[in-house]
Structure 1
Amino acid sequence: MFQLKPGSLAMVIGARTAAGRRNIGKSVELFALCQPGVQFVNPVNGIMTQLPATADRALWLVTGDVYAFDNQLGFAFVRPEHLMPLSPDSAPHMLDELMLN
Structure 2
Amino acid sequence: MTRLNLVLLLAVVVSALYLVRVQYDSRRLYTEIERARNEARKLDTDRERLVAEKRGQATPLRVERLAKEQLQMRPSGPGITQYVSRGPGNVAHAGARP
Greater gyration radius: 2
Whose strand proportion is higher, 1 or 2? 1
Do they superpose with TM above 0.5?
no
TM-score by length of structure 2 reads 0.18
Larger RCO: 1 or 2 (CA < 8 Å, sep 6+): 1
